[in-house]
Amino acid sequence: MNKIPIVDILTGKVVEEVELSDKWKKYFDYKHPEFVLHEYVTTYLANQRQGTHSTKTRAEVRGGGRKPWPQKHTGRARHGSIRSPLWRKGGVVFGPKPRDYYVRFPKRKKVLAKYLSITDKIKNGNLIVVKELKLDSHKTKNFLSLLKNLNLDSKKILVVDKTLDEKLKLASRNLENVEICRIQDINAYLVLKHNKLLITKEAFLCL
């Protein structure tokens, strides 16, 4: 695919075409892109984790300082603390403790993953480039009617523009299947997370 159709968001019809630059060829010809994309997504999700989970050991659970009963002559099993992991409300053995889940991912591979994810959308017909995305109103129903023109009202959509208009932010924030971002903030995870990628011509030419 050498050309990408540009659609008028008001009518849903193709008004012009934009030619892909030569740099896209290597992404279209890339063998086994799923390996890079899988590595990126797993790394991205790992880096989103806060790692603040924490359980209490027998030393950290309150109480249990006194020996519950004498060691001998009771006929019962010997115990030194009521906060032993063997006891109800006792400490946890080998439970999760705060840790850092950060995994380093090379910058070049991040860029590669981004372009491979967009290439996947192009190959499968899930990339829609619109001439412009200027809203007359901040009403959600007006924005939804524009999506209906493109048959996108029931899809999970990522809307990308060079700059985010305030009206676009207000119109889309109550739609659970729509997420918006600037072109400089786009990444492979965001692209893969959504069924369709709706991007303006101005933003697409920045890629």
- What would the two tokens of residue 171 be? 């119109």
Residue ending a domain, among 100, 117, 141, is 100
Band of pLDDT at residue 185, cut at 50, 70 and 90: very high
What is the chain's Cα-based Rg?
27
What confidence tens digit (pLDDT) does each residue in 145-183 have? 999 988 887 889 999 999 998 999 999 999 999 999 999
184 in the same domain as 85:
no
Residue listed under structure tokens 């603040």: 52
CA nearest neighbour of 116 among 180, 50, 30, 58: 30
Q: Which residues contact 182 (CB under 8 A, 6 or more apart)?
A: 160, 161, 162, 163, 164, 203
Neighbours of 100 (CB within 10 A): 9
83 in the same domain as 121:
no
Tell me, letter by letter, the H, E, C secondary structure of 40-90.
HHHHHHHHHCCCCCCCCCCCCCCCCCCCCCCCCCCCCCCCCCCCCCCCCCC
CATH number for position 19 = 3.40.1370.10
Domain that residue 23 falls in? 3-49+102-204
What confidence tens digit (pLDDT) does each residue in 68-119 have? 999 999 999 999 999 999 999 999 999 999 999 999 999 999 999 999 999 9
What confidence tens digit (pLDDT) does each residue in 118-133 have? 999 999 999 999 998 8
189 in the same domain as 167:
yes
> How far is 7 from 132, CA to CA, in rounded Å?
9
Q: Is the pLDDT of residue 1 over 80?
A: no
Band of pLDDT at residue 136, cut at 50, 70 and 90: confident
Query: Whole-model pTM?
Result: 0.86
Neighbours of 73 (CB within 10 A): 7
Q: What distances in angstroms separate CA 115 from CA 35, 119, 142, 188, one per listed residue? A: 14, 6, 31, 8
161 in the same domain as 79:
no
